[in-house]
Structure 1
Amino acid sequence: MTSVSYPAAQRVMVLYTGGTIGMQASASGLAPASGFEARMREQLTGQPGLSVPDWCFREMAPLIDSANMTPEYWLRLRDAVVEAVDVQQCDSVLVLHGTDTLAYSAAAMSFQLLGLPAPVVFTGSMLPAGVPDSDAWENVCGALVALGQGLAPGVHLHFHGEMLSPTRCAKIRSFGRHPFAALNRTGGVAKAQALPAQLNYCQARQLTTVGVLPLVPGIAAAQLDGMIDSGIQALVLECFGSGTGPSDNPAFLASLQRAEKLGIVVVAVTQCHEGGVELDVYEAGSRLRGVGVLSGGGMTREAVFGKLHALLGAGLELAEVRRLVELDLCGELS
């Protein structure tokens, strides 16, 4: 098999959102800080043997701890990426992001930027730049070097020398240099043969509301009703095993059916670290399918959450959203 090579990046836009990588001490602890561009230029200039593409820098506003990331911020980040590529003629983008929600944002951008003719790499660090044993510069330099060697268009997650698919990984550790890992999720389906024009990266997006509800033993319909009545447009239902839930609870099933009638898209994913959802294996799963729950297959929580925001935010008809949920758009189900 012949490996595919991609053009080396010539001009990279660095989008700095905040996060640990650029944090500095404050009276209340580490907090996002401006001035990272100057620190980055000083660091790279001090490594004359390092070969990286030319780059420019944009500081997003506000700078945030990634624990404060929101879907509204995603839309502004998406617009910044599109502007960098389509207006400022950058051929690649590097996003500096806090690690707590980095996998969520990278997965979300994978769907928000479908069709973008440029690679976008997310990275960050577990320790701030400049502190002893920090991983900040190795991740920044590693991402730039990878872009300089050529990457496929689409969104990537780079950390500690490893390139991961954002729609197939998650943050699994709160310490060390390897916080992210690819998850062994299964349950792939057919890839979408053609995407609606509304999903192309250059089309406008609307802000949407997606909820997440993990199932636990004894969960009551009232808890599900609270989510349904909160104004959500979609719900990620984190089920047991291969997609089972309280199938002998008529009130719970009735609430799920009510969600479908209200036009709320409910998608089941597994709570397990490995495997995926197969709703028709057990009766407890097939009953969920019977009241309108869709299968998330092997999608991670991060992937399905971002996918639902993208599909609903594109203004697609509800039937089309439901159809595309169960099809692979950018590797989330393959």
Structure 2
Amino acid sequence: MRKTPPELPTILIFATGGTIGMHDVGGGLEPDPAFLEILEERADRVASRFGFRARVNQLQPAIDSANADEETAPKIARALRARVGAMRASGVVVTHGTDTLAYTASRLAFELAGLGVPVVVTGSQFAHGARPTDAFDNLQLAIRAVTQANPSAPVAVAFGGKILPAVRVTKSDAEALTAFRAERELGAAPRGLPGSPEDAPLVRADHARVTAIRFTPGLAAADLLALSSTGAAAMVLECYGAGNAPMSKPGMKDALRAISDRMPVVAITQCALGSVDTDRYAVGRQLAAAGVIAGADLTVEASIAKLGYLLDRGFTTEEIAHLMPMNLIGECVEPARRTAAARAGSAGD
């Protein structure tokens, strides 16, 4: 009696839009209606090399990633949870536009913690039909990463020959094939989320909108107040250096205090490396005295993702102040651990 060959484990390829799925028919890049069929054929061919099969689903409607908003990443996460369960998928590859890929990947890292299968996000700088294109190199890299990853591996980004941690990644180049970087390593010994996504359901009818503003020499207190009056639920301040802000500017202290009384306000550094330490300088201490929360060494993408995730699950400003500098899923190095590591390094010199 002839035996039926066992069915190969499935990798879900979830297409959300972006340059990877576009083509140019003479009027500039636009979505290619044939892309999903092409994607499934190419993905299945690659997956079969590793003993898997690929199945393609699409976000409805697909988006230009520049139009992503606070609803986008949670919507993708809900769709993935449902499909992974229904398909019994062994891994997930998400294709996404590069403009906001780092923001979506960071939020997915929180939303999909504990999913039980590896998730890798990818995209391309050039459309799949362009010559040359990085689309299929990145797709192959992502599929290979998913097939080799531990089921509990954190969400990652596959791009330009590198596998990068989603909660540390940022887009650094608008043109190069190596468009993304992760200057900071994953924080060691993460504590885990305060309740898994299933245990901590949404408490909001809509998703929290988190805004960010970068301190520059021309920024005034009125600019912060104006941004805070748009209905946002939280604010991220991209500060100078170790968490410094122009606190002597007219009305700045009062503005920050007034905003902090209404919503969580988190300070991160503009620098590619390093961390916020509001005790280091007098202006930093004034920032903390105004109620601003120190965001350790979070990237802007991860700080927005973390704030949105916590707000959507009903955490209070006081609870968020405790959790933001805490390493939950590798998104930051906690100040105490960073200090201890620095001291250990100095002792070894």
Regarding TM over 0.5, the answer is: yes
For 1:141 and 1:184, the matched residues in 2 are separated by 25
Q: How does 1:1-334 map to 2 (within 5 A)?
A: 10-25=9-24, 28-43=27-42, 50-51=49-50, 53-153=52-152, 154-184=154-184, 191-192=190-191, 195-197=193-195, 199-200=197-198, 203-204=201-202, 206=204, 207-249=207-249, 251-262=251-262, 264-334=263-333
TM-score by length of 2: 0.86
Q: Find the residue that maps to 1:71 and give its secondary structure.
A: coil
Shift of 1:50: 3.6
The question of whether the paired residues in 2 share the 8 Å contact of 1:44 and 1:50 is answered with: no
Post-superposition Cα deviations, 1:225-245, rounded to whole Å, max 9, x if no partner, equal 101211111100010111000
**Unmatched 5+ residue regions in structure 2?**
1-7, 334-349
| Bigger Cα displacement from structure 2, 43-52 vs 303-312 | 43-52
TM-score under structure 1 normalisation? 0.89
Displacement of 1:128 in angstroms is 0.9
Matched AA of 2:105: A
Higher relative contact order (CA closer than 8 Å, sequence separation 6+): 1
State the AA in 2 paired with 1:137.
F
1:150 is displaced (CA, Å) by 2.9
1:283, 1:181 → 2: CA distance? 32
Please state whether the residue corresponding to 2:330 is helix, strand or coil.
coil
Q: Report the Cα distance in structure 1 between the residues aligned to 2:69 and 2:160, rounded to whole angstroms.
A: 26
Change over 3 Å in CA distance of 1:147–1:46 after alignment to 2: closer
Provide the alpha-carbon RMSD of the alignment.
Answer: 2.4
Deviation at residue 120 of structure 1 after TM alignment: 0.7
Which sections of structure 1, spanning at least 5 residues, go unmatched?
1-8
The code of the aligned residue for 1:21 comes to I
When residues 202 and 113 of structure 1 are mapped into structure 2, their CA distance, relative to the original with a 3 A threshold, is farther
Cα-to-partner distance string for 1:252-287 (whole Å, 9 max, x where unaligned): 11111111222x100001111221211110001110
CA drift at 1:26: 5.2
Aligned equivalents of 1:60 and 1:31: distance in 2?
A: 17
Gap change, CA 1:226 and 1:27, over 3 Å in 2: farther
Report the CA distance shift for 1:74/1:48 in structure 2 as closer, same or farther (over 3 A): closer
AA matched with 1:330: I
Tell me the residue number matched to 1:5.
Answer: none
Give distance in 2, aligned partners of 1:281 and 1:36.
53
Residue pair 1:33, 1:63 contacting (<8 A) in 2 also: no
Distance in 1, Cα, partners of 2:103 & 2:174 = 15
Percent of aligned pairs sharing the same letter: 33
Q: Distance in 2 between matches of 1:141 and 1:33?
A: 20
Q: Decide whether aligned partners of structure 1 residues 234 and 185 sit closer, same or farther in structure 2, where only a CA change above 3 A counts.
A: farther
Aligned partners of 1:191, 1:94: CA distance in 2, in Å? 24
| Residues 171-203 of structure 1, C-alpha deviations (whole Å, 9 max, x = no match) | 1001122001112489x79844x6332644773
Q: For residues 52 and 173 of structure 1, do their structure 2 counterparts lie closer, same or farther at Cα, with a shift above 3 Å needed?
A: farther
1:249: Cα distance to partner?
A: 2.7
Instruction: Tell me how far apart the structure 2 counterparts of residues 179 and 48 of structure 1 sit (CA, whole Å).
Output: 25
Structure-2 separation of matches of 1:48 and 1:242: 45
Question: Within 2, Cα distance between the matches of 1:269 and 1:204?
Answer: 26
